[in-house]
Amino acid sequence: NAGVTQTPKFQVLKTGQSMTLQCAQDMNHEYMSWYRQDPGMGLRLIHYSVGAGITDQGEVPNGYNVSRSTTEDFPLRLLSAAPSQTSVYFCASSSGTAMTYGYTFGSGTRLTVV
């Protein structure tokens, strides 16, 4: 049981490049989400999903796309990377509401856009 697995752990991109951050969970959790963490700003919700085929926007969705074709995977796509997207990205999953089941976070992806 690996929990929530994020890859890669570190990535450097050039402005304008695209890439996909991978997130996989093996706990059969329905709820998955992506957060970005910036110094002095806490964690902010980018996109989330309440089940396969269902996604919605969070607080800071611009510049990011997501899809949820399976319960296990929730990739985050950067379409055209910008320096403002330099951040640490966390994927989280839950079997239900945060109050009842809590969130399990992945170990994070540190992204630098130059």
Partner 1 sequence: GENVEQHPSTLSVQEGDSAVIKCTYSDSASNYFPWYKQELGKRPQLIIDIRSNVGEKKDQRIAVTLNKTAKHFSLHITETQPEDSAVYFCAATLDTGFQKLVFGTGTRLLVSP
Chain positions contacting partner 1, by CB under 8 A: 31, 33, 35, 40-45, 48, 50, 56, 58-59, 90, 97-99, 102-103, 105-108
Using the minimum distance from each CB to partner 1, give the nearer residue, 15 or 107: 107
Give how far Cα 8 sits from Cα of 94, 102, 110, Å.
21, 24, 8
Residue 52 beta carbon to partner 1: minimum distance, rounded to whole angstroms:
15
Residue 18 beta carbon to partner 1: minimum distance, rounded to whole angstroms:
25
Which residues neighbour 78 within 8 Å (Cβ) at sequence distance 6 or greater?
A: 13, 18, 19, 20, 21, 63, 64, 85, 111
